[in-house]
Chains A and B, each alone.
Chain A
């Protein structure tokens, strides 16, 4: 007995099912109204995602310009962009050298490193949450921040930080790679399940935090204040300078572009290991590779700006509420939203009180309640 194309003869199949199958096999007719409506709605939702991304980009443009005008030296909004544009082209008029110095060397690094740093942390958060299937995954729970914290503390207590910021940056970066390495090693030894990996990350986080605490107990008061300021995370840190801006830009852009190219695969990986393997993705290898890239991305950012929290954890959630969980859109949206959040919070911190507040504190103060409000308002199955 051949089974093929015996539909009409098969006594086990009812006419209704045979008709349904025939209709399915023929495909959708071009005049099918409900399909046309579905496509229209699909395109509308896609446009909304682009609008969200565009709005974030526009806000960055405005806040960045405004941010450069703020300070004791008076520079206008349009003028700020003119100066930047002139400076890029190498035109520095004789009578404008002070303005150029203020904009280029003092105010611009803060904006650039803020935008790219926020973008980097947010993208790292999106990817970590997707591949570890955990809404609490970020640079803290994977241990990256604790590693960086220990590295920076080590540099500050041993005097490596004296004179230049590179001691802190280098040690913070190197130590922040260790937790990622440990997570990968542990997942190789047992199995690479997402839960194992996040547990390994949290375990590593405690170890590094304990070591940092010990170092701080032994530290002299001056180093202690320095460590404390670094741990809060700020765009006023020594690492935020025009010389370092290109490093941050290149590191963040490179990682984000690579991650964006893998966004379709991340979507598949997020549906579970078995289904990912069945769709042709080596889930274990892919997860390790992505963890390595995001680990380096987060490390590159925190070593310059310190332990800025909130942006990496919360940006992905806020963006998911607006545009959904499709990583192909979520990654660019989170990058821009994270960048925006960072400079907006920094700006508020600079102008709100007479003493400037570090960006991490502002973000948590304002972002925390806003985030809880969003959860209450749009709690329907985002997670």
Chain B
């Protein structure tokens, strides 16, 4: 089982203005983890530290107790998969080949047919199997997003990071993607780490929520009902809100209960200094 650990991590694009301050965080159980927090608080910055895209100025990041600064990009990529916020490629390939890039680390060990099979399975999961031979640049923003998620899934890494996987998706697919990611974690025993802006969808589908606050620190980490409280949301986001708790009980197993906070956002506290 994979373990991720941040130990006293400081990061900034230059030493004078730190984006992340003394981050300590341990993720040692598979599940669906969502990072939330206001704009500019370092949500993308923190996940990019896990791939050495961002290299901390201070502190250590450990994956399975190994300091990643001692690892090569190639070694990390076998454990941690990352799909950045979608970008239009300068020269686009068709959808199948675009997703196939995610199989890069499997090209030596798998046959072309096997890789094609994995790609097609992921496309079917994202309901885009009819787009296979469309050029990537000819797709809509929502379709790009689905292709990007499929590319993340075919990497088959124990840890998968998705930067805003529901951006550009319609409501139906926002719900579907979050629910699907939760189910994928449970099925394959993965750690999926995403960045999210929608508090209610996060509350509903995340196993654990990581709340970041200014100036780039972990404010709260726990189950949705522990983290998404009225006080925390008002303090971190500067928004007055009410919470209605909703209890979901499994039909199969009455002991299996999930408490979901529903957040009703009332007013933004614009006079408060952030």
Contact = CB atoms under 8 A, between A and B. Distances in A.
Interface stretch (A57-65, A142-150, A225-233, A318-326): A318-326
A4 B190 CA distance: 9
A281 to B, nearest CB: 6
A380 B89 contact: no
Interface stretch (A130-138, A216-224, A238-246, A354-362): A130-138
B180 A42 contact: no
Interface residues of A, number: 58
B124 A135 contact: no
Contact of B84 (A17, A45, A135, A278): A278
Contact of B102 (A133, A279, A383): A279
B179 A280 contact: no
Contacts of A27: 117, 121
A190 interface: no
B101 A267 contact: yes
A3 B104 contact: no
Given A4-B30, A42-B96, A281 B73 contact: yes
Contacts of B270: none
Interface stretch (B45-53, B213-221, B231-239): B45-53
24 contacts: A3-B29, A3-B32, A4-B186, A5-B187, A6-B186, A6-B256, A10-B182, A10-B183, A11-B249, A11-B256, A12-B179, A13-B182, A13-B183, A21-B125, A21-B187, A24-B121, A34-B129, A267-B101, A268-B101, A275-B84, A280-B104, A380-B138, A381-B92, A382-B91
Interface string A224-267: 00000000000000000000000000000000000000001001
A23 B78 CA distance: 25
B83 interface: yes
Given A21-B180, A28-B120, A3 B53 contact: no
A94 interface: no
**Interface class of chain A by DSSP:** loop
Contacts of A28: 117, 120-121, 124
A23 to B, nearest CB: 8
Given A28-B117, A274-B53, A280-B73, A3 B84 contact: no
A41 interface: yes
B187 A25 contact: yes
Q: Which of B29, B31, B73 has the most CB of A within 10 A?
A: B73
A271 B89 CA distance: 6
Contact of B90 (A45, A270, A273): A270
Given A12-B248, A277-B53, A17 B180 contact: yes
Interface of A: 2-14, 17-18, 20-25, 27-28, 34-35, 38-39, 41-42, 45, 129-130, 133-135, 264, 267-268, 270-275, 277-282, 320, 324-326, 380-383
Given A3-B29, A9-B253, A13-B182, A272 B87 contact: yes
A39 B113 CA distance: 8
Given A3-B30, A6-B186, A12 B258 contact: yes
**What interface size band does chain B fall in?**
35 or more
Nearest to B52: A277
B256 A9 contact: yes
A254 B161 CA distance: 39
B183 A18 contact: yes
A282 B73 contact: yes
Minimum-distance CB pairs A-B, first 10:
A280-B77, A278-B82, A280-B74, A325-B91, A11-B248, A381-B137, A133-B90, A3-B31, A21-B183, A381-B138
B250 to A, nearest CB: 4
Interface in B101-125: 101-102, 104-105, 107, 113, 116-117, 120-122, 124-125
A10 B180 CA distance: 12
Contacts of A23: 124
A374 to B, nearest CB: 15
Contacts of A4: 30, 186, 189
B256 A277 contact: no
Given A274-B53, A279-B104, A7 B183 contact: yes
B204 interface: yes
Given A10-B186, A39-B116, A325-B91, A271 B101 contact: yes
Given A4-B189, A42-B96, A383 B205 contact: no
Contacts of B97: 324, 326
Contacts of A380: 135, 138
Interface string B56-91: 000000000000000011111110111110010111
A278 B77 contact: yes
Contacts of A274: 48, 51, 53, 82, 84
Given A270-B90, A324-B97, A9 B252 contact: yes
Contacts of A267: 93, 101, 104
Nearest to A21: B183
Nearest to B161: A278
Nearest to A286: B73
Nearest to B260: A12
Contacts of A382: 91, 135
